[in-house]
Structure 1
Amino acid sequence: MISEKQYHCDAQFTQNDMVDMDFTDHTFENCSFSNCRFSELRMAGTAFISCVFETCEFVVTEIQNVSFNDTLFDACKLLGINFTNCNDFGFSPRFKACLMKTVVFNNKNLKSMPFESCEIVDCDFTESDLRDADFSNSFFKGTRFHQCDLRKADFRTARGYEINPITNKIVQARFTLPEAQSFLLFLGIDLGP
């Protein structure tokens, strides 16, 4: 369980249900969380620095002014999370093999951020900086990219994305066929027989 002290370093938390915990203004540095539940929890002013979340659940977790600096989410479930109000200073989460559903990243600097082997469903990246982002082996469904900077982003092994090349910057972004054919729908082009 989380102790009363505000600063936690090199701690390991395993199979904890964090629902009733108060994380307000706590700092976690080089900590690991494994199989923990953060469902319907409210965090404010919490800082996670060089932390790892492995097979954790974040379901409708409120994260107000929370810092995620060099923090890895590995095989986590993130449902209904809004990263828009997170602390921008040092914001650098990494996502690997996560289920991300109805997650919002509006107006966030996600430059060079990895979203590797993730399932990204009904998420929103409106007006986000995704230059050099890595979406290797990720699957998209119903996810919105609008007014995004996707220059040099890697979608080569991603599937299911729908990106409007008119309302997003895609210069030097990397795509492969047949997935890149989705651009044609936004251009009003039909390649049917």
Structure 2
Amino acid sequence: MIASIRGVIQSIGNDYLIVETGGIGFLIYAPRSTLSAAGAVGSDIFLHTILIVREDALTLYGFSDNAQRSLFEQLIGVSGVGPKLALSLLSSGTPDEVRSMIAGGDVARLARVPGIGKKTAERIVLELRGKIDFRQLAASGSTSVSALDRELSEILVSLGYSAAEAAAAIASLPSDAPPTLEERLRLALRYFGSA
């Protein structure tokens, strides 16, 4: 396995870049965010990579950080999601945004990603929802989860719901939900009653 690569950017395409290291140019497919942060041709770059071995090809996929690579690995583990679809999904937002969509069961937003239809979006949510830890998302600070919702998530988990179920209940709260913990808890519990 090729876990990372450091080299000089030789070329940047729509969904790939070529990195030269040790006199060899590696074609590396990458999400849009990685490509836009890559810099100009001739600049140095470091990428976390995954080598996908197929019968007819050895393909490298590169990521700017381990969070992207980890999410990519989770996504390609979903039945029917290959590397190209996983890259498309990673190009739609940050890893935390994608994880939030999955944890919140936001099938509609996932289905808007090019190449991912409603059935694939539902499969992604079904297979990965329980594997996304909502409390870690909230702690990362990169999502728009308030302290109140973090506390609400902890209460729901202590009541026996999974972190993914808590995330879905919180995501279902209306944007004009009352700012009190008690009211938000009542609305979240109502979500479970209607599910």
Query: Shared fold by TM > 0.5?
Result: no
TM-score, structure 1 as length reference: 0.29
Q: Larger Rg: 1 or 2?
A: 2
The higher relative CO (CA closer than 8 Å, separation ≥ 6) is in 2
Q: Which protein has the bigger helix share?
A: 2
Q: Which protein has the bigger strand share?
A: 1
TM-score, structure 2 as length reference: 0.29
